[in-house]
Amino acid sequence: MTPLDPSNPFAAPSVLPYRLPDYAAIREEHYLPAFLAGMAEQRDEVAAITSTAEPPTVENTLVAFERTGRVLERVANVFCNQLSSDATPALEAIEEQVAPLLAAHHDAIWLDAALAARVEELGRQADEGRLELEPDTAYLLERRRVAHRRAGAGLADEAQARLREINERLTTLEARFGRTLLAATNAAAVLVADEDELAGLPDDAKAAAAAAAERHDEPGAFLIDLILPTGQPVLAQLENRTLRRRVFEASSTRGLGGEHDTRPILLETVALRAERAGLLGYAHHADYVASDLTIHGADAVADLLGGLVGPAVANARAEAAALQQALEHDEPGADLEPWDWSFYAQRVRRERRALDESAMRPYLELDRVVEQGVFRAANLVFGLTFARREDLTGYHPDVRVYEVFDTDGTPRALFLHDPWTRDSKRGGAWMNNLVDQSRLLDERCVVVNNLNIPKPPPGEPTLLTWDEVTTLFHEFGHALHAIFSDVRYPSQSGTAVPRDAVEYPSQVNEMWAWEPEVLRGFAVHRVTGEPMPAEWVQTLLDARQDGEGFATTEYLGAALLDQAWHRLTPDEVPTSPDDVEAFERAALERAGIAYGPVPPRYRSTYFNHVFSGGYSAGYYSYIWSEVLDADTVTWYGEHGGLRRENGDAFRAKVLSRGGSLDALQAFEDLRGRAPDIAPLLARRGLAGPAA
């Protein structure tokens, strides 16, 4: 192995606080050498484990493996976050080159017969009672055995060779889907020349659109950037129905042909995933994925989703009736269309509840929501405090760095906040770790939250919608999962839990956005300093279930599309890109979720979660995690709500334990029983007369 040049910033751990990557030193040319050296180093480290003549022990096999790959971990964490948050053509070219190499590297480790044999020997000793293990180590061993088996370590050589080919190709395709979608989303931004067409759009949003147009060399015009889901926030505000339709169609046709066509990529991806599942002994990819998650099996996923469809669509149709009436008042004889829904839902809400979300925006200024809302809730519930670190540099000028202190003032973590959208950032909102907490490696957490909020012109405030407020709380729930992690092994750190449980803590954290004591602290008029009127706050609380028919139906549409694609066998996968839309229509009809005014939250061609992200056959995770979340919110209510004692219990029994035990066991340790779906059904209006 050629050692990495010591001048490369990834050659050694950063000397900055918390080992924050030294972004002042990191250059694009550092990534590829660090990836190559990191992979070679880890292969040598694994070879040292498997070549020893000593029989396997916890220390020389499990712990030794946990110590491997430090250079690769450092560069991969930084690169993946940078690629998602601030991509450049050079970074995309590196990804194209490195993605298949990483897939081959992964297979070289997890298909290593000697390594798998050492793990299996430890497993046999534990099964026979000859090896006593502490609980976190026992769970680590269990997960390692499963990982080797699911990777195909027991397959014949020919099958393993084909598996390696599939994995390498899939990694390339998934990266390509993400790049193509980002380009398609940027290209689909809607340019508006006439300001009169923007009637209804708040002044600050209009200014942001003007600034976006200026950045794209269209002075005097307005550019409406698109976010990842089908529904775009401006659809709730634009009075011009023709422009609403333009925006909707630009959003919903991304990837459907042209220069940025994602259909060939997704079809090949689906076919290869189906083939891989068959090689590993599963009926289809959905079965392969779900068999290792907390729900245990694709049929259980189908039962969960299918049981919600009827009540969700019934609620959506009931909501639509009121919206249709409002539309006909403006345009007699017009039929409610997807581009009308948000606009008339907003109007009906104003009329029924005197709640005008546009009027609320001056009370929802970004910095105050973060510091007096998100951070204050974390202080009230968990005792955390935060301080800006102006001396520390993030990976982009927009990034703000905060130090996080525990209840006794002990420094605990770094939190990087990157709130604004830009052409180089992929859509959506997410959390990344730059450094994983681990007692074994003596490392503390460095965590990033990324959002896509339109950036106003310099000197102007960033005013939020209520959805953006809850997104801030949601993503910080992921950050808390990382910040509170207190585990020994790096592979069990923070959010290293099954995919269908990873959204559980983040969804729980959304509850504090609605907590009156928290809400009063951040909902303050940016100019007058007056708190949001008490009657508005109460109306906001009363309106929590408004629109749940729409929200559940659009979510289920996407989740069921994900399942439909991934329940196919290789010979069932469509072969022509022209068949993608027909497959979608048939799948939605078959599931009973096809309802024209409410399209899926994501259509296949821009479903980044499943064709580029880690949610393939797992998008159901959000609703399953919400079962755990809603039940936990009920637990908080039963125990007095916003109390430090409750936060301490949630921290101790769930957040701090990361992936060191079964995720459902952590829930049951908190709740005292298995999950109950009833609180979710009540929250979403899917039980009783409302359904």
| Residue 475 a catalytic site member | yes
Tokens encoding 356? 């005008």
Q: Write out the H or E segment, with its range, that includes residue 383.
A: none
What burial letters (b/e) apply to 640-674, b meaning 16+ CB within 10 Å? eebeeebbebbbebbbbbbbbbbbbebbeebbeee
Report CA 541 to chain centroid distance, whole Å: 26
Q: For the chain, what percentages of helix, strand and coil (3-state, to nearest 5) are there? A: 60, 5, 35
DSSP string, 389-438: -TTS--SSTT-EEEEEE-TTS-EEEEEEEEEE--TTS-SS-EEEEEE--B
Q: Please identify which residue in the block is written with the tokens 């936060």.
A: 647
Catalytic residue among 475, 515, 548, 584: 475
Whether 144 and 125 have beta carbons less than 8 Å apart is answered as no
Q: Please identify which residue in the block is written with the tokens 């180089």.
A: 424
Q: Is the dihedral of CA 40, 43, 49, 51 positive or negative?
A: negative
Task: Pinpoint the alpha helices (H) of 504-547.
Answer: 504-509, 511-514, 516-522, 534-542
- Tell me the longest C-alpha to C-alpha distance in the chain: 83
Q: Please identify which residue in the block is written with the tokens 């790959």.
A: 69
Tokens encoding 595? 């309802």
DSSP string, 303-356: HHHHHHHHHHHHHHHHHHHHHHHHHHHHSTTPPP-HHHHHHHHHHHHHHHH---
Alpha carbon distances (Å) from 247 to 227, 241, 334, 638:
11, 10, 19, 44
- The amino acid that residue 107 corresponds to is D
Alpha carbon distances (Å) from 618 to 285, 557, 562, 583, 614:
10, 13, 8, 19, 8
| Spatial distance between the Cα atoms of 159 and 157, rounded to a whole number of angstroms | 6
| Spatial distance between the Cα atoms of 604 and 602, rounded to a whole number of angstroms | 6
The residues annotated with a catalytic role in the active site are: 475
